[in-house]
Amino acid sequence: MPKISLIVPCYNEELTIDIFYQAVEKVFRDHADVFQDVTHEYRFIDDGSTDQTLTKLQQLQATDPETVHYLSFSRNFGKEAGLAAGLQVADGDYVAVMDVDLQDPPALLPEMFQILSDSQYDCVGTLRASRHGEPAIRSFFSRAFYSVINKISKIQIVPNARDYRLMTRQMVDAILELPEYNRFSKGIFSWVGFNTKYITFENTPRSAGKSHWSFWQLLNYSVEAIVDFSEVPLKVATFIGSFFAFMSVIGIIFIIIRKLIWGNSVGGWASLVCIILLVGGIQLFCLGIIGNYIGKIYLESKHRPQYIVKKQK
């Protein structure tokens, strides 16, 4: 019998776990005709929560031991580590990635499953039709991020795409072949290829609790994504350095000619200091770009595990 594995990362989500479980179970009951002869399982990933998330998962697993499974990290390793862990332990013929806060509507699962069953698609992803209810500044930077990364990266990431998707076993196995420590799942989903169909849904609020993603965390996550999937920032640093080196040569030639023709010394110490500060700042900026890439190489070279499991069932 085909099986659907649902990967559900959790971090301090004690208020949403039961709500999520009941909502998904209702979808499977109400669409028994679609999921006929299909089993499903939950793979909850507790990302080092500091509230009662693990306790809730243990209680839920005790009530439904055949379907509910959990894996708990020794500390918080981040959502990307949670997704990687879920993909590694999920053994279903179809694998779905979902958020536990119900911002990824479980009601889409029947349609997603039918598309994969009846067509040549390998993945069904989801898109938010709008960002209604989200802070304006976050929406602005989100649009800017997708615009930038799609212009400077060889892969194309669909704007407003969610991690919420249903994939075939073949696609999941391809993703598991990528061993990198630094991961950006949306980019990885696009990089491996495979035929993907996107369906849209209206943005929905969380079922309970509040988001754990701050603006600065999202901004840092965006920078990491650009570094992971584009070399253009390095090329920009090279171009800036080459440009200012060329301008300095022109300046030296101008000063020599001026001295030979007019014989007066060059004045303007204030402007000279400003130029030195400008060039110094640009140098530090370029070193920061290079340092970011070197830092990624450093982390990869350590070959540390992406996560450490404390409890599993």
Most confident of 142-156, 168-182, 223-237, 264-278: 168-182
Q: What is the pLDDT at residue 293?
A: 80
Q: Where are the alpha helices (DSSP H) in the chain?
A: 17-30, 53-63, 79-89, 109-118, 136-152, 169-176, 185-191, 215-229, 232-262, 269-302
Residues 190-246: tens digit of each pLDDT: 888 888 888 888 777 665 656 656 666 666 767 777 777 677 777 777 777 777 777
Q: Which residues pair with 308 in a beta bridge?
A: none
Taking the C-alpha atoms of residue 287 and residue 284, their distance in angstroms, rounded to an integer, is 5
Residues 77-135: tens digit of each pLDDT: 888 888 888 898 888 889 999 888 888 888 888 888 888 887 788 888 888 876 666 66
pLDDT at 269 over 80: no
Task: Check: CB of residue 71 under 8 Å from CB of residue 46.
Answer: yes
Q: What is the pLDDT at residue 44?
A: 92
Residues 23-65: tens digit of each pLDDT: 888 988 888 888 888 888 999 999 888 888 888 899 898 888 8
Task: Check: CB of residue 125 under 8 Å from CB of residue 197.
Answer: yes
Q: What is the pLDDT at residue 214?
A: 61
Q: Is 263 left (phi over 0), alpha (psi -120 to 50) or beta?
A: left
Transcribe 40-61 into DSSP letters. Answer: EEEEEEE-S-SSSHHHHHHHHH
Q: What is the largest CA-CA distance in the chain?
A: 93
Percent of the chain clearing pLDDT 90 (strictly above): 4
